Amino acid sequence: MKELAKAYEASKYEKEIYQTWEKSGYFNPDNLKSKGKPFTISLPPPNATGILHLGHATMLAVQDLIVRFQRLGGRKVLWLPGTDHASIATQNVVEKKIWEEQKKTRFDIPRDEFVRQVAEFAENSRGTIKNQMRCMGVSCDWSRDRYTLDAGLSQAVREAFVKLYKDDLIYRGKRIVNWCTRCGTTLADDEVEYKESVGKLYYIKYGPVTVATTRPETKLGDTALAVNPDDERYRHLVGKEFDVTLGKVKVHVKVIADKIIDKDFGTGVVGVTPAHSVLDYELAQKYHLPLKIVISKEGTMTEEAGIYTGLKVKEARGKFVADLGEQIEKIEEYKHNLSICYRCSMPIEPMPLEQWFVAVDKPFRLNWFKKTTLKQLSLEAVRSGQIKIVPDRFEKVYYQWMENLHDWCISRQIWFGHRVPVWYRKNIQNESEIYVGVESPLGDGWQQDPDTLDTWFSSSLWTFSTLGWPEQTKDLQTFHPTSVMETGYDILFFWVARMILMTKYILRQVPFRTVYLHGLVRDKQGKKMSKSLGNGIDPVEMIEKYGADALRLSMVIGNTPGNDFRLYEEKIAGYRNFVNKLWNICRYILLSVNDVRVVENVPESKTLADKWILSRFRQIADLVTNKIEDFQFSEAGEALYDFTWHELADWYLEVAKLEGEKDKILSYLLTQLLKLWHPYTPFITEVLWREAFGEKTGLLMVQPWPQNLPPQNNEAEKKFDVIKNIVIGIRNYRSENKILSTQVLSVAIIKADNLSSEASKIIEGLRTKVILVAQPESSWKKLEIGKVILAISS
């Protein structure tokens, strides 16, 4: 017999246990004795400069549950970690730091020096989040840790770019792009966020018509007016051209008609500003309209804006509105979605710029007999069932997004990141030459393209570049396609869709078999957590206070696929109580059993209670296994929680105290129960395994998942349920009638089907303070509990 401390102190064990795991080498699949089928998860790489937040913690809790389950199940598990250079985010942090310390912008520093400072900052920061991940108990293979800017991944990015370029799927062209004047770069369509804003809708007298607009300053860039061809009010104007004076500026416009115009918006006439609106640009392409750029990349008005040249956009708006004077017929409040940068929340300025694009709709030859497009390839991967999305309702969302995908703008006007592998020079005849290659070209006079690539371009290669591609490595052959991609539903389009697109194109494989999407973390009232609301929870602080296992449980139980879930400190504290309950169950078993040892074979059941608990364990073990395999982690955890606390602890251990001689059964239950709980609560289960069975038995993390399970015994379960119902009925009767717990009650069982011969001893022994009698007196109160009828002395 061995005695544990009365309470589990997570902080006393967690760091030491994690170090033991790391030293064992079992995070590395090459060190596992298992000959099972490989199982791979590529960790969605957190930003190199980030700190652990609740989104990361949720992702880590779920993924570690999956990989520990698979490792216990005998699979050759690789959980490959890494960090993302997160170009815009990281550069912004350093730019801000340089400004605060030196009052300089990046343009005041040589590019190479600035990039060196950003890279140094990122490298120094990478260790922070990796150490915080260790606090969560993640069992990823740190020996394979990757960084999106490391040498191997940088080569993979260049190889992918060159391959796309040679297949004519990357091109440089002028198109309307999303421009952030604060970050000084383009953004992909799905990097633009939208926030509801109350603005003003200005009705401006515009020659023979009135135009409604939310951005009057852009009217300086109008080259057309557009109406719906079915709108009889303006049919006589279609095809005409005229000059219009707007305040102090003249513009020349042509009237066009197109079905896209909403007759019911404003006056039914809109100004067409091709240089500053995606829709207007498409109209300009369709009707051959000129482009007039009136807003610069710095967010100021250009020379095309006449007297407003050099003014910031908001200043120009105020001055232009004042100059319009009586031409403004009315102003209304107007609710609309304002497009903003996902990094800095500045309003987006659409403008035409030369950029690099991936052509998603251009046919290319997949093989000698089939042509397809990147878009079709990506859609087919999910439609054919090669990739399963959990929950499946997100498949429709995926199809809708992919079907409406425009060419992907992959160039960014920032300095930190993967440089576009393109060089230019003038030859002897002063003709322009271009070179696209993995390595820089030979010869003099070459200038590399100044742009860098979208961060999502490099991370779209993540599942295979981290395994060694473009080399055909053993890891790539063994662990790809990966098994599961687990991430938040909020980056389904940012990242997951692009990984499918790029992997199907480059490898002709899917990147993963299953996509599991978890929801977003919300506070107790269901509100989104944010710094401004002050309702955020620091996961590292919660680990220090309650332990990693409690935090993990609070993030998994109650978290169903694709649905947001609520997290608050009381919930974490509640699961800390359960972790302590698990400790005390083990503590009792260790004090009760003379020789605790690992028991894999099902022990003999001598009593009804033995048969009942083993039968119930069989059902729980099967349910937990099936539910985890089906990605129903919360349901599995809830069932296991209920069994551990309300069946094993509340009933069987109490009966065991009465009956005695339970060494083998208790050892078997402890052996198997710790395995079932290990994916959910790895720290405490590893501690208990060592305390109970000793270090010679090895680490729990590589033990076999429960295999030798007892038979299900429905008859025993029915009989024990009768006893449970009788005991519960008596306890409820005592409580409802305010009968002291010290007062002995006489009870007669008038009717009870399936009543075991062992019932009397159990009922009288479970601290019910009752004496069972054969015959009740006439004055006793009758109590019906299901099919059981009792008579209790009043």
pLDDT digits over 359-372, tens only?
999 999 887 778 99
- First-to-last CA distance in the chain? 44
**For range 253-273, the mean pLDDT:** 92
User: How far is residue 376's CA from residue 120's CA, in Å, rounded to a whole number?
Assistant: 41
pLDDT band at 36 (very low <50, low <70, confident <90, very high): confident
Pairing outcome for strands 241-246 and 745-751: unpaired
Task: Please write the tens of the pLDDT for every residue from 49-101.
Answer: 778 888 889 999 999 999 999 999 999 999 999 999 988 888 888 888 888 89
User: How far is residue 357's CA from residue 521's CA, in Å, rounded to a whole number?
Assistant: 34
State the pLDDT at residue 269: 93
**DSSP string computed for 334-387:** EEEEEEEETTT-PBEEEEEEEEEEE-SSS-EEEETTEEE-HHHHHHHHHHTTSS
User: How far is residue 643's CA from residue 633's CA, in Å, rounded to a whole number?
Assistant: 15
- Using CA atoms of 533, 539, 543, 546 in order, give the dihedral in degrees to the nearest 10: 40
Task: Pick the more confident residue, 15 or 263.
Answer: 15
**For range 225-238, the mean pLDDT:** 94
Task: Please write the tens of the pLDDT for every residue from 233-243.
Answer: 999 999 999 99
pLDDT band at 794 (very low <50, low <70, confident <90, very high): low
The yes-or-no verdict on residue 790 having pLDDT over 90 is: no
Other CB atoms within 10 A of residue 89 CB: 19
- Ranked by mean pLDDT, the top range of 101-110, 216-225, 718-727 is 216-225
Tell me the longest C-alpha to C-alpha distance in the chain: 119
The yes-or-no verdict on residue 381 having pLDDT over 90 is: yes
User: How far is residue 77's CA from residue 34's CA, in Å, rounded to a whole number?
Assistant: 9
Task: Please write the tens of the pLDDT for every residue from 543-556.
Answer: 999 999 999 999 99
State the pLDDT at residue 779: 79
State the pLDDT at residue 190: 67
Question: Considering only CA atoms, which of 29, 57, 32 is closest in space to residue 44?
Answer: 57
For 208, 300, 360, 399, the CA distances from 190, given in Å and listed in that order, are 39, 25, 15, 15
For 238, 251, 490, the CA distances from 497, given in Å and listed in that order, are 42, 43, 12
Output the CA torsion sign for 158, 159, 161, 165: positive
Strand partners for 353: 175
Question: Considering only CA atoms, which of 349, 373, 353, 351 is closest in space to residue 363?
Answer: 373
Task: Please write the tens of the pLDDT for every residue from 501-540.
Answer: 999 999 999 999 999 999 888 888 888 776 566 777 889 9
Which of 174-183, 423-432, 695-704, 751-760 has the weakest average pLDDT?
751-760
Percent of the chain exceeding pLDDT 90 equals: 68
**For residues 295 and 302, is the Cβ–Cβ distance under 8 A?**
yes
Task: Pick the more confident residue, 626 or 341.
Answer: 626
Q: What is the amino acid identity at position 768?
A: T
Task: Please write the tens of the pLDDT for every residue from 752-777.
Answer: 776 777 888 888 877 767 788 878 78
Nearest-5° angle of CA 377, CA 379, CA 380? 65
Cis amide leading into 208 (omega within 30): no
State the pLDDT at residue 199: 87
pLDDT band at 1 (very low <50, low <70, confident <90, very high): low
**For range 610-619, the mean pLDDT:** 97
